Amino acid sequence: MTERIRTFVAIELPEAIQQGLARVQDQLKQGRPPVRWVSPHQIHLTLHFLGEIPPEELPAVAEAARIAASGALPFELEAAGVGAFPNLGRPRVVWVGLQGDMEALHRLQSRLTQELAARGFPPEDRPFSPHLTLGRVRPQARPQEARGLGQALAAMKPVLLGRWRVTEIRVIRSDLRPEGPLYTPLYLVPLGHAQALPDGA
């Protein structure tokens, strides 16, 4: 059977933001909601999820990321606010929102999608909705438990976790495991530069 690699392109977060996300999770955990939490060190801002692709297609993904990033200058984002998809009345995904230079973020993501499409990778089914996923409500959760989580989110004080400067994007491999996914960066692509570097180079 031919190996296929679960792949996505993302912006990784500085440690200070990850620590802030952990504090928000800890606050929400006090209510014992039926949520499978994402490890704070694995939370990232996904720009494009490609699904499972053959290894030989990875250089094309890196090239698309390189071209998209080469036309973008570093920009600032801020992690702020909490919410849930599809809404607080029926929460399924718990997230922290983003603000800052959203226009630059959307331009980068749009260019990445265009460059990937030019290489045969289809756009995602859902429109780009930038967020940082804190956790996912367990499928067996009772409706009243989910509503309680939504009420807890609505009652939270304003969440402001700080700003950071986005200077690169990464092509990342995801291996699904029972204890949670393992993410391995494959390519590091600086913004405003012409070369995609294998991670660790």
Residues with a catalytic annotation lie at 44, 131
DSSP the chain: ----EEEEEEEE--HHHHHHHHHHHHHHHTT--SEEEPPGGG-EEEEEEEEEE-GGGHHHHHHHHHHHHHT---EEEEEEEEEEES-TTS-SEEEEEEEESHHHHHHHHHHHHHHHHHTTPPPPSSPP---EEEEEE-TT--HHHHHHHHHHHHHSPPPEEEEEEE-EEEEEEEE--TT--EEEEEEEEETT-S-PEETT-
CA 108 – CA 192 distance, rounded (Å): 11
Beta bridge partners of 44: 12
